Amino acid sequence: METDKKLILDIKSLKVQFNIPSKSLLPWAKPTPLKAVDGIDLKLYEGETLGVVGESGCGKSTLARAIIGLVPVSSGQVVWLGEDLATLDEKALRDKRKQIQMIFQDPLASLNPRMNVGDIIAEPLRTFYPQLSKQEVKTQVKEIMDKVGLLPNVINRYPHEFSGGQCQRIGIARALILKPKMIICDEPVSALDVSIQAQVVNLLKSLQKELGLSLIFIAHDLSVVKHISDRVLVMYLGNAVEFGTCEALFADPKHPYTKALMSAVPIPDPKIERNKKVQMLEGDLPSPMNPPSGCVFRTRCPIAVDKCSKSDTPLKGRESHASACILEL
């Protein structure tokens, strides 16, 4: 990707594997490896939004948690501003964590019900900047509340007194209070009504423009991803199956899985919606403990042939648009 923007995140061959204990009673039975993320490469630039899409169980959230350090990385590198996070000591890693924040899927469940709004938003400040006075903390909290559209008179209320959209604004304020360089948005609008989704997405876009944020935006809804993203990564069973600029990927999807996802997106025009051809995926999602050989999508692919089971399928193509389908290149 040709860009003058600064590279802030470089992920190289990232793998996350969980060992599932065997059900056998034999003491020498080995655990079964579950490949949640299986060799992802991506770059994120300053001020850019990277969309990550795929059905449930494809590894999107695990990828996000591995980047931020909530789950251990089995192999590969997460390079943040030129430094491999795995090589940093605890103090240096703690300092880097101020620059990377996260917004979670369930806005209410991610907030402590015993803390009021002011304390929830102020908690990161008290953790990383204990030298700040109560008045300084309160001033910064009110400033960030104003940025996300929360009135200052709700500062003493509790999460259960707010709607889902308002709770997500509280979560966004908590993520922004440390002035991070990047925010990972883990399906931040999937639990909200459609009208509220648009408000939250537009809020994130305006905050990104104002503060120069970089975003990783995880979602199921391709229409939302198209609205906010500069580039898009499509994942299936822990693998990257397509990657490219938003414009190129939506104009000409290459991988059969991407085409199936896009065909399921509703079109506002009733005539077009009635006449469009939806590509239904047959069969169930394979187990990540026993993935198919060759192309991981071949067991559900409508155009799969014999060589799909024998050929390795890394991303191939231009840097602006690459696909892991050997039949579509």
**What is the per-residue pLDDT across 257-299, written as a single tens digit (0 to 9) for each?**
999 888 877 777 677 667 777 777 777 888 888 888 888 998 8
* Parallel/antiparallel/unpaired status of strands 182-186 and 214-219: parallel
Note the maximum CA span of the chain: 68
Domains (range + CATH), the chain:
1-20+32-99+183-191+213-329 (3.40.50.300)
Which residues contact residue 138 at a Cβ distance below 8 angstroms, ignoring those fewer than 6 apart?
118, 122
Closest CA to 76 of 145, 29, 15: 15
DSSP secondary structure of 1-32: ---SSPEEEEEEEEEEEEEEPPS---TTPPPE
User: Are the beta carbons of 225 and 53 closer than 8 angstroms?
Assistant: yes
pTM of the predicted model as reported, rounded to 2 decimal places:
0.90
Angular region, 58: left φ>0, alpha ψ -120 to 50, beta rest: alpha
Read off the tokens for 101. Answer: 């924040």
User: Are the beta carbons of 292 and 38 closer than 8 angstroms?
Assistant: no
pLDDT > 80? residue 41:
yes
154 residue type, one letter? V
Task: Please list, residue by residue across 118-156, b when 16 or more beta carbons sit within 10 angstroms of its beta carbon and e when fewer do.
Answer: bbbbbebbeeeeeeeeeeebbebbbebbebbebeeebbe
Please report the pLDDT score of residue 306 as a whole number.
87
195 residue type, one letter? S
Tens-place pLDDT, residues 149-169: 999 899 999 999 999 899 999
Rg (CA), the chain: 21
pLDDT band at residue 141 under the 50/70/90 scheme: very high
Which residues contact residue 262 at a Cβ distance below 8 angstroms, ignoring those fewer than 6 apart?
222, 250, 253
In sequence order, what are the beta bridge partners of 43?
10
Please report the pLDDT score of residue 272 as a whole number.
66
Residue that the structure tokens 């990550």 belong to: 52
Please report the pLDDT score of residue 206 as a whole number.
94
